[in-house]
Chain A
Amino acid sequence: MPDHTVKLDPELHRRIAELVQNSGAFDSVEDYVNCVLAELFGEAGLHEADEDRERMLRQRLKDLGYM
């Protein structure tokens, strides 16, 4: 099995961890890096998953009579 591990510079890792902690958008540094790389390389999967989730949450609010 190929090893997909990427070793980040410790300072970069610290800064991303700070960003992750402040933004609330990501679970971990790995989650952030995956999201950024997917966007950079035009992988639509994560984007679509977010869109689907948002649509589902909005529909639920609508069903509850809030929209």
Chain B
Amino acid sequence: MAARADMPDVLLVTVDALRPDRLGCYGGDRAMAPHIDRLADSACVFETAWAAGPNTPASFPGLMASRTAFQSGSLGVGEAPVTLAELLRSQGYGTFGFNAGNPYVSRFFGYDRGFDELRSFLEHTPTDGGVFDHVPQDEAAGTRVSGAASAVRRAFRGARAALKVPLRALGLLRPLEPLWRPVLDHMRYWSRFRVKLDLEERYWSAVSDWLEAPPERPFFLWLHPMTVHEPYCPPARCQREVAGRALSMRRMIALRRAAGRVAEGDRSALSDRDVRELRMLYDAEVRRMDERLGVVLDALRRQGRLERCLLIVTSDHGEQFMEHGRCFHPSFHFNETLRVPLLVRLPGEDEGRRVEREVGLVDLLPTVADLLGAELPDGACVGRSFAPLLRGEEMSTEGRLFVSESFYGPHGTFYQLDCRDLRRVKRRVSFQNRCIKLAADGAAGTCSVFDLRSDPGEEDDLSGRRPELEEAAMGLARCHFRRAERERVRRAFPGGPPGGRP
């Protein structure tokens, strides 16, 4: 199908781990992200947008396919009825994606579906650890560790393995840990910083190259920058711009090491000053990302394509800075990670508006379909179109609870999961809107409840004192989990049971 000439280009920017409150259009410092704020002046700014999960693998099925992660037996969108890129390609769009190295949104998890070209920049992602432990090696073979920083990482892994055996044999591994761990951690994080800096350059350079000669026909361009994602190692210039001073590489590494210890359970590893400095580094990364995004927007503006572009800027999840005793974006359902920015600018729009109605990222796919007049298969989406809100019409979201899901493995994080098989992972789910948060841990059989009207910071868990709310949290979670199981059974046996009805 050829795209109609009046169809707009579509630019979707999903900044990994971007908190809304760091942006001026969400009440943050207006100097932090001036390009995004300028865009907000002519866009619909959704005051409350909910992610479908607190981290990338849990959130992205909702964002790209309007599905919840638990609806699949495996991670990603490989089993989704339709993805955003597929929808747009079916309308005649050229579809292009640039993912700055996040393996969870790469082809390994079905995110290349519908794309004419998806570049994932996984060259520096180690294939011998983390998510790739669970990807068949023939698929992982397309990626390889390269570059000086990665050579250091390989050397570090080798040295660590070689040292561990004799030290453990002598019973010295633990007693000598204060001596060896800082050195090895320093090497590890130094290499991660170098990899990130190198990747950033290559990523944005590739995006700029693409923008030099975009296709004539309408395009869908998806950008997934990792600039704001940890480890935070912004250039000194960006740090000075947001804080008037810059931290040394040594200090940045020390902060990342301490944050790593928090993730391992030592909540005292970060002092208040450390947290302030981590936030400052994060803000400087936001500043750097905004600069890069500004270059992209300028390029489209020069070509006269920005004005006729449907532009969506959002994030897959937010970030925590010890508000609830943790850093980054673990599998816990607090609003620091579940609330995301969402800006949508319709083609030709030049007047900004704020939208109070709550929406979810699961609504993006049906909204884009609605705006383009495209049909979606029945039952393909769990979200609903918010196109009427973009047109300034009324639309009720009364009675709506937004669902977010997450999963965790044996060590409490999602990194160690067997991503290709979600049948035996431990699950969390939450149901929320501006008034209430009902969160349940399926494996632990526990829940937490927050009245967000009186307790927006989620500090006072009501679960022990409000049995009716506790019952609602556990009951809704149970129904949700069972529905996911039933859907998986239906998919496994689409024609009914083997042998038919007795």
Q: Report A's interface with B, CB cutoff 8 A.
A: 15, 18-19, 21-26, 32, 35-37, 39-42, 46-47, 50-51, 53-54, 57-58, 60-62, 64-67
A22's contact among B426, B436, B440, B501, by CB below 8 Å, is which?
A: B426
Contact A57 B476, beta carbon cutoff 8 Å: yes
Cβ of B456 under 8 Å from chain A: no
Cβ of B490 under 8 Å from chain A: yes
- Chain A residues within 8 Å of B423, by CB: 19
- In the complex, what distance in Å separates the CA atom of A22 from the CA atom of B427? 7
Cβ of B425 under 8 Å from chain A: yes
Q: List 19 A-B contacts (CB under 8 A).
A: A15-B424, A22-B427, A22-B443, A23-B427, A23-B485, A24-B443, A24-B444, A26-B482, A32-B485, A41-B497, A41-B501, A50-B483, A53-B475, A58-B401, A60-B472, A64-B468, A67-B400, A67-B401, A67-B435
Contact A22 B497, beta carbon cutoff 8 Å: no
User: Which residues 452-502 of B have a CB within 8 angstroms of A?
Assistant: 468-469, 471-472, 475-479, 481-486, 489-490, 493, 496-497, 501-502
Q: Report if A57-B471 is in contact (Cβ < 8 Å); known contacts: A24-B477, A67-B400.
A: yes
Contact A22 B435, beta carbon cutoff 8 Å: no
- Chain A residues within 8 Å of B479, by CB: 50-51, 53-54, 57
Cβ of B260 under 8 Å from chain A: no
- Chain B residues within 8 Å of A57, by CB: 471-472, 475-476, 479
Cβ of B433 under 8 Å from chain A: yes
- Chain B residues within 8 Å of A19, by CB: 423-424
Contact A39 B442, beta carbon cutoff 8 Å: no
- In the complex, what distance in Å separates the CA atom of A19 from the CA atom of B482? 12
- The 6 A-B pairs at the shortest CB distance, nearest first, are namely A24-B442, A25-B481, A40-B497, A66-B436, A54-B479, A39-B489
* Minimum C-beta distance from A6 to chain B (A): 13
* Minimum C-beta distance from B380 to chain A (A): 20
For chain A, what secondary structure do more than half of its interface residues adopt (helix, strand, loop), or is it mixed?
helix
* Minimum C-beta distance from B432 to chain A (A): 10
Name the residue on A nearest B468 (C-beta).
A60
Q: Report if A40-B489 is in contact (Cβ < 8 Å); known contacts: A23-B443, A67-B401, A67-B433.
A: yes
- In the complex, what distance in Å separates the CA atom of A21 from the CA atom of B427? 10
- Chain B residues within 8 Å of A60, by CB: 468, 472
Most buried by A among B400, B471, B482, B496: B482
Q: Report B's interface with A, CB cutoff 8 A.
A: 398-401, 423-427, 433, 435-436, 440-445, 451, 468-469, 471-472, 475-479, 481-486, 489-490, 493, 496-497, 501-502
* Minimum C-beta distance from B281 to chain A (A): 36
Name the residue on B nearest A25 (C-beta).
B481
Contact A36 B485, beta carbon cutoff 8 Å: yes
- In the complex, what distance in Å separates the CA atom of A41 from the CA atom of B399? 33
Q: Report if A40-B493 is in contact (Cβ < 8 Å); known contacts: A62-B399, A67-B400.
A: yes
* Minimum C-beta distance from A30 to chain B (A): 14
* Minimum C-beta distance from B444 to chain A (A): 8
- Chain A residues within 8 Å of B399, by CB: 58, 62, 67
- Chain A residues within 8 Å of B425, by CB: 22
Contact A24 B481, beta carbon cutoff 8 Å: yes
Q: Report if A42-B435 is in contact (Cβ < 8 Å); known contacts: A24-B443, A24-B481, A64-B468.
A: no
Contact A24 B486, beta carbon cutoff 8 Å: no
Contact A18 B424, beta carbon cutoff 8 Å: yes
* Minimum C-beta distance from B488 to chain A (A): 9
- In the complex, what distance in Å separates the CA atom of A21 from the CA atom of B484? 15
Most buried by A among B398, B443, B478: B478
Name the residue on A nearest B445 (C-beta).
A24
- Chain B residues within 8 Å of A51, by CB: 479
